[in-house]
Structure 1
Amino acid sequence: MTADVRVIGAPSERRSLRPLVGVLAAMAVASTGTRVSAVALPWFVLVTTGSATRTGLVAFCELAPYVLVKAFTGPRVDRAGPRTVSLGADVGSALGAAAVLVLHAVDALSFPLLLALVALIGAARGPGDLAKEVMVPEAAERGAVPLERATGLSGVTERLASTAGPVAGGALVALVGPLKGLAVTAVCFALGSVIVAVALPRRLGRADSEGASGTSEEPGYWLRFREGFTFLRGEPLLMSVIVMVGITNLLDSAFSAVLLPVWARESGHGPAAIGLLGSVAGAAAVGGSLVAAVAAHRLRRRLVFFAGFLVAGAPRYAILAFDAPMAAVVAVFGVAGFGAGFLNPVLGAVLLERVPRHLLGRVNALGDSLTSAGLPLGGLLAGAAVTAVGLAPVLLACAAGYFLTTNSAGLRPEWRAMDRERGRLLHEGPRREKDEPASPAAP
């Protein structure tokens, strides 16, 4: 497959791995900062207020702006360029995290002000995450790296962050207090902006100028937005992926924001257990992502995808509901992490193959926002449910919902296109940008 890789806008002699390494490094540090704050911030709210509902409210205030801003950022990313957007977003996230630390140090951090700053961080994170994702395919092409291998490496990077972040967050919370973890978060986002500024070419990802219209006049914001929505609406496989992943993301948000911290407190294991389980799952996911990076293009995508979800989802919830020994919990999280390592490489390759390059920012933004629509509600609903009926019934209900959602989705006929697309690419090679049809006109 390597021989079929094209480098758009860059002659073969300019092929270099530097852009791909830069994108992955920026992803790594930003994701690590996010994972650290995901341990530190909920634990801070839980132990200072004793309220699962308030803990869920903090998660809502971070994730609602994340989803909303990301949904409408796609046209801006396509027009201004993902490098510029990533740079500004990382700086904004760093400043928001630093403001929490400063205000807490001078005893001026009220709960409403904390919610406002968390919302600012979430609003900045959305465009930053999107911009880094959009830069992956061209960075891979500039280095002559197969797409599935690049998305696999992106998955490895995310999983490494999922390993290091919870360990650092859990250790900081246990040793020096939860808000100290936000100092690491601020440093990570600041470092990410430096990497983007230094390592990435200025026009990386600026494929939008080569759009399908071929005219010098650029369309307006809402026309760009509508083009992305119209394309996505006409893709049954992508829409089915969005619905399924949207439901599982809601359940995962409930798990990480409320259910796992409440379990850690009620079981007596404390924040160190959150870090341990996160790092075990993350380390196992690194192994899964490495296998996917090396071999995913040779495997049946649909089988790998749903097998990964089968072990990555429901077992994590069920094991916490039954007061199992810590060794059993660690083992389940390890198996779940390994299965989860296969998911994003498969999803990333399918998305990047099916979406024309000039629509990538818009479609990716819309898809990510729709799959993330339940994230703000996950912690909020879980907090209210735990308060009403207790932890174990909520864990079991989430396990059942996860199992039914992922298995019933696999029965739908549009998922067969996941393997058909792979077979076409193996025989014909990737579609060339010039051969891709223009996006259908909006009604």
Structure 2
Amino acid sequence: MTQDVLGSGKRSLRPLSGVLAAMAVSLTGTRVSAVALPWFVLVTTGSATRTGLVAFCEMTPYVAVKAFTGPLVDRIGPRAVSWTTDLASATAAAAVPLFHAVDLLSFPLLLALVALIGAVRGPGDLAKEVMVPEAAERGGVPLERATGLSGVTERLASTIGPAVGGSLVALLGPLTGLVVNAGCFALGSVIIALALPRGMGHAIEEAPSQAGETEPGYWRRFGEGFTFLRGELLLLTVTVMVGVTNLLDAGFTTVLMPVWAKESANGPAAIGLMGTVAGAAAVAGSLVASLAAHRLRRRVVFFTGFLLAGAPRFLILASHAPTGAVLAVFAVSGFGSGFLNPMLGAVLFERVPRRMLGRVSALGDSLAWAGIPLGGLAAGAAVASVGLSPVLLAGGAAYFLTTNLTGLRPEWREMDRASGRDARDRQPEEAGQSSSANLT
């Protein structure tokens, strides 16, 4: 038994560091690809619609597969799911430049490969998220601080990834960025498989609900997760709102920013610079959240963050403002966005029992991400029909109305209340129960 096993009474930061490191490298690769892949499609096809179609084909499997793998993550264990899916992602990502090099990369084949990447990336991302509370507990790290550090890691990836992606695309071409993406996934797989302590990230045994019953099967686990999420009105409302904003964000990053960069003659380096500025500011916001989140009123911080992070980005690009003004707005937006995920992560981990974390997180994430595949597709079609500026203005208005009108619902008051339902304090006998508690 290693020193990191919970029962030993000794604490170590190694588990949390390992999970965060794996997150960092895989997310950085994804952010590099987010610059390289749309630019590759845009410059080789000249079509904003095809660029959006590629994003659709990657994110649709991501959302669909992630929704149904939650029970498997709970049953198999997040560690095994994480390293195997990262390895599969690395293989599929490496195949894109390989087939292009031998002149075999047709557009349908590209769509198939990005669909495969999305299908295996979803479970991998979920598995790493699920390991955060266990890693925090092993290290004696407060949950809100751990989710804050997870947010910092994501924001660092959002800072480094676009900068590296933009530079690689400008200097060496977009396919180099896809090679880097494959390497990052491979490294993430190695970190999870080898660097985490033994005994971490395995499945939690579930007791049967009645005497004589066997361990619950896949569909029963899935149903328990659905019932739990449906009964948690705060989590459900958050999920729906974030689903709309994610749709708008997807269209913005996969289509509207590349089209703006091309039409303004700023090129891919500008995309990388904007992403880097926003990411650096988001790191600062996440650091503040990780240090002070437990002292802040979550609801006020949450909606202020969305007010800064959403509509201003759309409006500044539509205004044809100089580059300095664009970067300033992206910095403010990034700082606001840095507070969002730490708040959301803490609320989720407090309310969901550890044994159900995989399935509930998978369902919530999939619902929140359901609009992402349509975001790029809709943005590409809209730009082709009416042009860039009207789409940017409409997107900014939709973002503002979605976040502000949703905030009027009464269940948001639950965000500021002491939970008393922290999953870390739940008793073992809860393992056979499903919850449909109403928070309002």
Q: Which amino acid aligns with 1:179?
A: L
**Equivalence for 1:439:** 434
Within-5 A mapping of 1:59-70: 59-70=55-66
**Equivalence for 1:219:** 216
**Equivalence for 1:391:** 388
4+ residue segments displaced more than 6 Å: none
Alignment partner of 1:95: what SS?
helix
Paired with 2:281 and 2:227, the residues of 1 have a C-alpha distance of 38
Contact between 2:278 and 2:335, CA under 8 Å: does it hold in 1?
yes
- Whether 1:86 aligns to 2:82 is yes
- Whether 1:129 aligns to 2:125 is yes
**Equivalence for 2:286:** 289
Deviation at 1:207, TM superposition (A): 5.2
Within-5 A mapping of 1:40-55: 40-55=36-51
Q: Which amino acid aligns with 1:386?
A: V
Counterparts in 2 of 1:11 and 1:192: CA distance versus 1, 3 Å: same
Within-5 A mapping of 1:305-316: 305-316=302-313
Deviation at 1:166, TM superposition (A): 0.2
Contact between 2:234 and 2:415, CA under 8 Å: does it hold in 1?
yes
Contact between 2:311 and 2:399, CA under 8 Å: does it hold in 1?
yes
Paired with 1:304 and 1:104, the residues of 2 have a C-alpha distance of 46
Deviation at 1:311, TM superposition (A): 0.2
In the alignment, structure 2 segments of 5+ residues that lack a partner are none
Alpha-carbon displacement from aligned partner over 1:69-123 (angstroms, at most 9, x marks no partner)? 0000001100100000001110000000111111011111011000000001011
Could you tell me which of 410, 420, 423 is aligned with 1:413?
410
Contact between 1:27 and 1:132, CA under 8 Å: does it hold in 2?
yes
Paired with 2:312 and 2:25, the residues of 1 have a C-alpha distance of 29
Alignment partner of 1:384: what SS?
helix
Deviation at 1:198, TM superposition (A): 1.1
Contact between 1:8 and 1:138, CA under 8 Å: does it hold in 2?
no
**Equivalence for 1:230:** 227
Alignment partner of 1:69: what SS?
helix
- Whether 1:298 aligns to 2:295 is yes
Deviation at 1:199, TM superposition (A): 1.4
Alpha-carbon displacement from aligned partner over 1:194-237 (angstroms, at most 9, x marks no partner)? 00011123442335314574878311111110110011110100
Contact between 1:281 and 1:336, CA under 8 Å: does it hold in 2?
yes
**Equivalence for 1:361:** 358
- Whether 1:244 aligns to 2:241 is yes
In the alignment, structure 1 segments of 5+ residues that lack a partner are 1-6
Q: Structure 2 length as normaliser, TM-score?
A: 0.95
Q: Which amino acid aligns with 2:338?
A: G
Alignment partner of 1:219: what SS?
coil
* Superposition CA RMSD, Å: 1.9
Paired with 2:199 and 2:209, the residues of 1 have a C-alpha distance of 20
Counterparts in 2 of 1:18 and 1:151: CA distance versus 1, 3 Å: same
**Equivalence for 2:378:** 381
Q: Which amino acid aligns with 1:439?
A: S
Q: Which amino acid aligns with 2:201?
A: G
Contact between 1:8 and 1:141, CA under 8 Å: does it hold in 2?
no
Q: Which shows bigger deviation, 204-213 or 61-70?
A: 204-213
Paired with 2:265 and 2:173, the residues of 1 have a C-alpha distance of 17
Q: Which amino acid aligns with 2:234?
A: L
Q: Which amino acid aligns with 2:361?
A: N
**Seq. identity, %:** 73
**Equivalence for 2:73:** 77
Contact between 1:155 and 1:345, CA under 8 Å: does it hold in 2?
yes
**Equivalence for 2:256:** 259
Within-5 A mapping of 1:314-333: 314-333=311-330
Q: Which amino acid aligns with 2:220?
A: L
Contact between 2:22 and 2:189, CA under 8 Å: does it hold in 1?
yes
Paired with 1:429 and 1:29, the residues of 2 have a C-alpha distance of 28
Could you tell me which of 188, 195, 215 is aligned with 2:191?
195
Contact between 1:211 and 1:358, CA under 8 Å: does it hold in 2?
no
Contact between 1:208 and 1:359, CA under 8 Å: does it hold in 2?
no
Q: Which amino acid aligns with 1:204?
A: M
Paired with 1:213 and 1:326, the residues of 2 have a C-alpha distance of 61
Q: Which amino acid aligns with 2:63?
A: V
Paired with 1:433 and 1:279, the residues of 2 have a C-alpha distance of 44
Counterparts in 2 of 1:302 and 1:440: CA distance versus 1, 3 Å: closer
**Equivalence for 1:160:** 156
- Whether 1:143 aligns to 2:103 is no
Paired with 2:227 and 2:206, the residues of 1 have a C-alpha distance of 19
